[in-house]
Structure 1
Amino acid sequence: MKEFLKRPSVWGTILSIAVIAITAFAYFYPDAQQGRTLLQHDIQQGAAIGQEITQYQQLTGEKSFWTNSIFSGMPAFQISPSYPSSSLFRWINAVYGLGLPAPSHLLAMMMIGMFILLMSMKFKWHLSLIGAIAWGFSSYFVIIIGAGHIWKFVTLAYVPPTIAGLVLIYNGRRWLGAGTAALFMMMQIASNHVQMTYYFSWVMAGFVIAYGIEAFRARRMRRWAVSTAVAAAAMALAIGANLPNLYNTYEYSRHTMRGQHSELTPVAETSDPSDRTDGLDRSYITSYSYETGETFSLLIPNINGGASARPLKGGMSPLTVADTDRGRELMRADRTGQMQLLPLFSQYFGGPEGTNGPVYVGAIILALAILGAAIVRGPLKWALVILTLLSVCLALGRNMMWLTDLFIDYIPLYSKFRAVESILVIAEFTLPLLAMLGLRQFLTADNPWQTYRKPLLWSFGSCTALCAVAILWPALFGTTVMGDGDAIMIARYINAGALPAEFDINHYPEVVNAAESIRTSMVASDALRSILFIGVALIALVGAATGKCSRPVALAVIAVAVTADLYTADKRYLSSDAFTSAKATTDAFIPSAADKIILTDTDPHFRVLNAPEFYSAAPAYFHKSIGGYHAAKLTRYQDMIERHLAYMARPEVGQMLKIRADSAMNATFAAESPENHRRIMADLNVLDMLNTKYVITDPAQPPIINRNALGNAWLISSIAYVDTPDDEMLALDSISPATTAVADRAFRPILDDAVTAPAPGDGIRLTDYAPNRLTYKARTAEGAIAVFSEIYFPWGWTATIDGEETSIARVDYLLRALRLPPGEHEVVMTFDPRSVHVTDAAAKASVAAIYLILILGIAFTVTSRKPQS
């Protein structure tokens, strides 16, 4: 132990961890330490969606894999997924975050991972520390903390140590490498952001191929094959440890928008066959694409104006040119009134979707990465360069459609993910790694100035030249006013009534010129900023190379400059202004006047339509909502939204309910507008069959009671069988769901043709409710078909009648139905997929194997270092 503690690398590692902890702690000081918090939109949405199953688990200790809180009911496999086996490794997150308060622990996790990777690649601790800071403070990571994309962040934090395991395996330390790779891949998958894991599987493949080329050249292919087999086994164990989530999510995804297209014939005027893929539509995949000039944000953060909004006191605040010093000055000195229109122009002038901030890796890091690409030798360098260029090009999405189409059509799973600009996380990883490889190569050369003078000056000079171009001709990067983003913002103001419908910004040339001038100055100012940081690093490197200063001093200067560069840039996008009191977090869900009235209803199970917030998850915090927000909603429910429910998610729905309730008004409407009457009555019927008991059109007013809601279950008098999904959906326009059901012919063997009208006294009612277990009492004189206002899902749900299992059918496009025998019976529906239990047992075994391999790897490493006697 004494010999171990005498090693410089040990004390360097301890010092590095301390520096990482301090920098992560300092970034959010004093807010995180004072108990202030970030009120993140995505976290709020997740809390609302998961409220029902969270309360159920707190009450019973049981995890429900079904929730009725959004979209009238859906599996909860992608709503805070957790399984019994998850408890075996949940502790790792806390340890990995160094015990720091949130969200400081997230930055620590990100930096620790890169530090582990660089140390595994035999970097000295000081270079590993610089690389860790460069990776951890890359702007995108700080931005997604502010946006609340926490599990995306955590997934990315586990990427570098996973790759560290691969490095150890191919460098001959197979047990330790296998344990490390399996452990961190297990945590990466458990963090449940498949898109990020998918992207970095390309990076891992790049490492494997690079090591394969090295092995081929050295005639060690057998050794490489064995190492590859070990790596594959480690990945298999990591997958096994997450099998409950992976398997059940995969099976679930086959019935969602992510994995299944609608079976309905598209509406003609909105259909574009060329837009469709075997996953998401092309337009949806590329909806968030980097603009061509925006790529240079890697070097100059404000190359396209920075951000269109930023977190502020628990919300998102738009960032306009009026928020700049120049903008405020112009508005104060305004005499014509035109400058008061400056808030119409966002600081960001890239794509029409807007952004919370750019992907900025640091001017110094980019210059060093170019140096690394020029002077480092070997297949790994080329793998990193190719991956960098590929990620930059694919991030362009719709702006490089030939390449995007190629990947959508021919690369497996690529079409399953949207927001292609997020693939730049690969460049955010490869560029710091290339930078550290270049820095090590440069500083360890015998005569770096003699050997690498030209590459050094070329790499730093090219970055400086690009910055100079941005200063002299900033319009080259797209500062033109009235791009798509500007037009969209002005249209929003017009729609909100803040501007007259006839408003035309071209009638105000002074403000247009002022906005363009402010944007131009933002680009030029940031370009000059990057030049200054590049100059500091270049002076340090030239000084070290020529002997004018020591190499440790040069490294210290570069470390401070890299930290200062990224730290100050990041503060633009996530600063103390984003934090709010802890009380504000608890107040995020305050029931409205309408909510309070509904909450007094003791009925355990009914649904609510909140028209103003139909596409938000917030109503799910208090109610079982027929709307919601989730990226993986069931395809059939999305069909129902598009064909019926979307028309009800408007304030006019209240008036429609009143018309239907008044026979005279209803008759007049039917006579004056028969087609509109037919369509609206069909839409209202859908609300009825989903047991929509309350409708909110104004949260400040009492809700409207829908007295036609059909309840939890009812008995029908007739059933119609159809051949296609189109016929099934079309039938909903004409049937009365209270008495008639429509079903696909595939369910005829379950439901049969013989349907007897309910006799007096026949009925079915809910007697006990839990999200994953519904109990009913039924009485029928001659047997009947019961329809349930519950969403049909093809697996996981079982139904019993007096304890005897029976088959569940689908009717009315998305509801459940059962055939009931004569007499009084207890009907129980339970969602307890057998696959959850089977896969969880396999996961526990995999976790145990990972821990065992890691312990053996550490033991073998320690014993192999002992001196021979």
Structure 2
Amino acid sequence: TALFIALQILSNHVQMSYYFLFVILFIVGAYFEDAWRNKTLPQFFKASGVLVVAALIGISVNLSNLYHTYEYSKETMRGKSELVETGDAAKQTSSGLDRDYITQWSYGIGETWTLLVPNFKGGASVPLALNETAMEKANPTYAGLYQQLSQYFGNQPMTSGPVYVGAFVLFLFILGCFIVKGPLKWALIGATFFSIVLSWGKNFMPLTDFFIDYIPMYSKFRAVSSILVIAEFTIPLLAIFALKKILDEPEVLKKKIKFVGISLALTAGVALILAVIPGAFSSTFVPAQEAQMLQNAVNQQMIPANELSGILSNLAEMRAAMVSADALRSFIIIVIGCMLLWLYYSGKLRKSFVIAGIAILCVVDMWSVNKRYLHDDQFVPRSAQVNTFKKTQADEIILQDTDPNYRVLSFSGDAFSENKTSYWHKSVGGYHAAKLRRYQEMIDRHISPEMQAAYRAIATAGGEMDSVDASKFRVLNMLNTKYFILPAGQEQTVPIENPYAYGNAWFVNNVEYVDNANQEIDALNTILPTETAVVDARFKDILKGITTAHKDSLSSVRLTSYEPNRLIYETNNSKDGVIVFSEIYYPDGWIATIDGEPADIARADYILRSMYVPAGKHTIEMRFDPKSLHVTEGIAYAALALMVIGIMIMVIVYRKKLSSPKS
């Protein structure tokens, strides 16, 4: 158990490790209650101490990842914004995330039946026309429409597949609730119920609100339905314990026949009901948003009004057929599993055959469902995958630029939902699930509107940049967007050089200090960034309180060396001045020097870096080298060494025991 905990904490998937902590808490609570009741608390605390040491070693080995992920999260969309927004403040959380954003992927209460019947809500968000069972009931008149409608009809915006644990596995789990003894059973039952209820999210807000408001880090994660990974772990585990109990004591099936009947009723019985009456536990086969979409199509005369009722009726019939077929499948699987157990109880089948039979049954069950969502068509040769990032002619042209650092913005598709541009260039766009919060706010407030304005202006000018008004995209220029990639028809693109990009860094004439984030981001609507820098008042001391910087025609700043974690500039200015760097500001880790002497970095224009530079010629170096990285890595290596030493000691002790003469 200690090793398992350590391995879980070593996992790079922070969210899943976080959820596993809840399982640990349930286990600890159950064993504590058992120890308290049986007056064995000393043994409990001794065993718990061993687990705590194992957990601390596991945390320490991965401390660098955990700590820096935590620190980074504060600066991302998962952190709290400094902007004061108007509107429904009740939806804001202490972390800054919107409750609707956190709970957007909430499992429907009725959708929980997918644990037993995978297609209870249609499965995945793929075209309905791909489901053979559904298409057998389809009206050929609407075949084209069913290419556009989804198989899935649950509460979530979309899904790649249901949470299904296996029909016979679920039967064994429920039976295990009655025949398995010990504190671990109650821990697994509690954790299962806990994860199911919490996965309902916005469909059960009292519990969700409590966790968002009071449980540390819970509000950092999106897609509350993902907590069902707990149930996917605890249900099979208790099912295994139940199977072991039956294999060790087959007579338990007769002694607990009432509970066998209850388990059958809650699984095979429900599945049979759904096979006969697919809508028994579902309010509708056509969700409200889909019905509204079809109504809008009628209003826009895309669908004849007199056909709407026929479409809705046929759609319900198709989805009912999907549910019925899958429910019958689950019923048959449970019956086959129970027959294997009955044959073992009656002595007609050996234990090894039962184990093999149940293993094959469960593998076939899960394999066939998994193949619906992870199938051969999704795997491609390595060469085909590489072609995903095939260099276009536009990329070739841009990459001929020898400038050490500039940015590219693609108008071909959604710039913030694709990463192809970032594969070849330093991109203004790109996708990340946890963007820097300030950058996302700049996207919303300035970059996206400027992209629309820039695209219209360039299109109107026919690509002649001399005729384009650069004031329409000052923030893009501030980000040193030197190239635009524009669509040119038939999946072709063309690069256009932007002569108005401000470059890698520049001296400013004026510094405007503001009191809060709203003033800072709003000021970018009016200032010219090459002339004025907008700076939060908290950085005033770093910039020596300068308001008028007095740059002249000879003032210059040039990037001479670029690496992602190290930048070197050569500067020249006749008087003390302030430089704005077209590099994203991050509060921790960047170390700056001027001629080798330490210097401080301020934030300017909401997302960029800025520095006070004395008069004269200077060399400025910025290097990303967080002290915390060295500290956490040192702890990690020490913990790893401790783990290795511990394993060696255990091996030596074990060998001594084997070699010592028996008493």
- TM-score band, normalised by the shorter chain? over 0.9
1:443 corresponding residue in structure 2: 247
Bigger drift between 755-764 and 191-200 goes to: 755-764
Structure 1 pair 252/419, CA: closer, same or farther in 2 (3 Å)?
A: same
Q: Residue 662 of structure 2 aligns with which residue?
A: 868
1:597 is matched with 397
C-alpha distance in 2 between matches for 1:529 and 1:773: 60
CA gap of 1:485–1:344, structure 2 versus 1, over 3 A, is farther
Output the CA distance in 1 between the equivalents of 2:230 and 2:20.
Answer: 7
Corresponding residue SS for 1:370: helix
Greater CA drift, 741-750 or 684-693: 741-750
**Taking structure 1 as reference, are residues 243 and 506 closer, same or farther at Cα in structure 2, changes over 3 Å only?**
farther
> Helix, strand or coil: the match of 2:77?
coil
Matched residue, 2:586: 793
Cα distance in 1 for partners of 2:403, 2:350 equals 77
1:299 corresponds in structure 2 to: 116
Say if 2:351 is the partner of 1:551: yes
Matched, 1:648 2:440: no
Report how far residue 765 of structure 1 moved. Answer: 0.7
**Per-residue deviation at 1:478?**
3.7
Any stretches of 5+ residues in structure 1 without a counterpart? Answer: 1-163, 166-179, 309-318, 667-679
Indicate conservation of the 8 Å contact 1:255/1:634, yes or no.
yes
Shift of 1:808: 1.0
Provide the aligned length of Structure 1 versus Structure 2. Answer: 652
Matched position secondary structure for 1:736? coil
Partner of 2:190: 386
The answer as to 2:228 corresponding to 1:424 is yes
Separation in structure 2 between the aligned mates of residue 510 and residue 643 of structure 1, nearest angstrom = 45
Q: CA deviation at 1:758?
A: 2.1
State the shift of 1:507 in Å.
Answer: 4.1
Give the Cα separation in 2 of the matches to 1:693 and 1:776.
Answer: 19
Identity %: 41
The within-5 A match list for 1:497-576 is 501-504=300-303, 507-508=306-307, 509-576=309-376
- Structure 1 match to 2:523: 731
- Deviation string for 1:648-702 (max 9, x for gaps)? 344x522235779889886xxxxxxxxxxxxx94x61111111111122316232
Structure with more relative contact order (C-alpha pairs < 8 Å, separation 6 or more): 1
Task: Say yes or no: does 1:686 pair with 2:470.
Answer: no
Aligned residue identity for 1:868: K
Q: Does 1:709 align with 2:501?
A: yes
Structure 1 residues 730, 447: closer, same or farther in 2, change over 3 A?
A: closer
Inter-partner Cα distance in structure 1 for 2:406 and 2:299: 42
Aligned mates of 1:504, 1:642 — CA distance in 2: 36
Would the aligned equivalents of 1:352 and 1:484 in 2 still touch at CA under 8 Å? no
Q: Say whether 1:287 aligns with 2:104.
A: yes
* Residues 598 and 478 (structure 1), Cα distance of their counterparts in 2 relative to 1, 3 Å cut: farther
Match of 1:265 among 70, 84, 89: 84
Equivalent residue, structure 2, for 1:585: 385
Using a 3 Å threshold, how does the CA distance of structure 1 residues 285 and 516 change in structure 2: closer, same or farther? same
Compute the displacement of 1:718 (Å).
1.2
The answer on whether the counterparts of 1:300 and 1:467 sit within 8 Å (CA) in structure 2 is yes
Distance 1:446 1:565 in 2: 24
Length-normalised TM-score, structure 1 = 0.71
Counterpart code for 2:569: Y
Q: Work out whether residues 203 and 426 of structure 1, in 8 Å CA contact, stay in contact via their aligned partners in 2.
A: yes
1:207-258: per-residue Cα shift (whole Å, max 9, x none)? 2222223322332211211221221111111111112222222222222221
Q: Deviations over 1:826-863 (max 9, x none)?
A: 11111111111121111100001112223333444555
Deviation per CA, 1:792-849: give whole Å up to 9, x if none.
1112111111111111111111111112112111111111111111211111000011
> Given residue 600 of structure 2, which amino acid in structure 1 is its aligned partner?
S
Label 1:630 to 1:339 Cα distance change in 2 as closer, same or farther (>3 A): closer
The answer as to 2:277 corresponding to 1:476 is no
**AA of the residue aligned to 2:473:** L
* Conserved? CA contact 2:137–2:317, under 8 Å: no
Deviation for aligned residue 1:531:
0.9
Q: Are residues 378 and 665 of structure 1, via their aligned partners in 2, closer, same or farther at CA, if it must alter by over 3 Å?
A: closer
Change (3 A) 1:567 1:658: closer
Query: Residues of 1 paired with 2:468 and 2:580: CA distance?
Result: 30
Q: Residue 278 and residue 462 in structure 1: after superposition, are their counterparts in 2 closer, same or farther (change >3 A)?
A: same
Using the TM superposition, give the Cα deviation of residue 591 of structure 1 relative to its aligned residue in structure 2, in angstroms. 2.5
Q: Which residue of 2 aligns with 1:346?
A: 150
Match of 2:43 in 1: 223
SS at structure 2 position matched to 1:843 = helix
Question: In the TM superposition, what is the alpha-carbon distance from 1:477 to its structure 2 partner?
Answer: 4.2
Residue 6 of structure 1 is matched in structure 2 by: none
Contact 2:451 2:473 in 1 (8 A): no
Contact 1:300 1:363 in 2 (8 A): yes
Q: TM-score, normalised by structure 2?
A: 0.93
Structure 1 residue 476 displacement after superposition: 3.4
Give the match's secondary structure for 1:588.
helix
- 2:414 paired with 1:613: yes
Q: State how 1:173-188 maps to structure 2 within 5 Å.
A: 180-181=3-4, 185=6, 187-188=7-8
- The CA distance in 1 between the partners of 2:182 and 2:327, in whole Å, is 33
Correspondence 1:818-829 to 2 at 5 A = 818-829=611-622
SS of the residue aligned with 2:434? coil
Q: 1:544 to 1:485 in 2, by over 3 A?
A: farther
C-alpha distance in 2, partners of 1:664/1:592? 27
Of 131, 140, 153, which aligns to 1:324?
A: 131
Alpha carbons of structure 1 residues 634 and 487: separation in structure 2 relative to 1, 3 Å: farther
Structure 2: gaps (5+ residues): none
Q: Offset at 1:490?
A: 6.4
Q: In structure 2, which of residues 539, 545, 548 is the aligned counterpart of residue 747 of structure 1?
A: 539
Contact 2:551 2:573 in 1 (8 A): yes
Q: Provide the secondary structure at the position in 2 that maps to 1:810.
A: strand
Change (3 A) 1:687 1:212: same
Distance 1:488-1:815 versus aligned 2 partners, 3 A rule: farther
Instruction: Select the residue among 429, 439, 444 that pairs with 1:627.
Output: 429
Distance in 2 (alpha carbons) for counterparts of 1:827 and 1:505: 69
> Partners in 2 of 1:696 and 1:489 — Cα distance?
34
CA distance in 2, matches of 1:570, 1:526: 14
User: Cα distance 1:488–1:794, how it changes in 2: closer, same or farther (>3 A)?
Assistant: farther
Q: Do the aligned partners of residues 327 and 305 (structure 1) sit closer, same or farther apart at CA in structure 2, a change above 3 Å counting? A: closer
Contact 1:505 1:512 in 2 (8 A): no
Counterpart Cα distance in 1 of 2:547 and 2:530: 18
Counterpart code for 1:633: K
Question: Which residue of structure 2 lines up, in the alignment, with residue 355 of structure 1?
Answer: 159
Post-superposition offset of 1:548: 3.6
- Partner of residue 74, structure 1: none
The 1:463–1:863 alpha-carbon spacing in structure 2 relative to 1, beyond 3 Å, is farther
* In 2: Cα distance, 1:373 partner to 1:300 partner: 20
Pairwise CA distance, 1:504 = 4.5
Among 631, 635, 638, the alignment partner of 1:838 is 631
- 1:67-146 superposed matches below 5 A: none
Q: Which one of the candidate residues 587, 592, 601 is aligned to 1:808?
A: 601
Task: Supply the distance in 1 between the matched residues of 2:112 and 2:331 (Cα, whole angstroms).
Answer: 17
Structure 1 residue 338 displacement after superposition? 3.0
Alpha-carbon shift at residue 585 of structure 1 (Å): 1.3
8 A contact 2:10–2:58 mirrored in 1: no
3-state SS of paired residue (1:785)? strand
**Which residue of structure 1 aligns with residue 178 of structure 2?**
374
Which residue of the partner structure matches residue 277 of structure 1? 93
Q: 1:374 to 1:864 in 2, by over 3 A?
A: farther
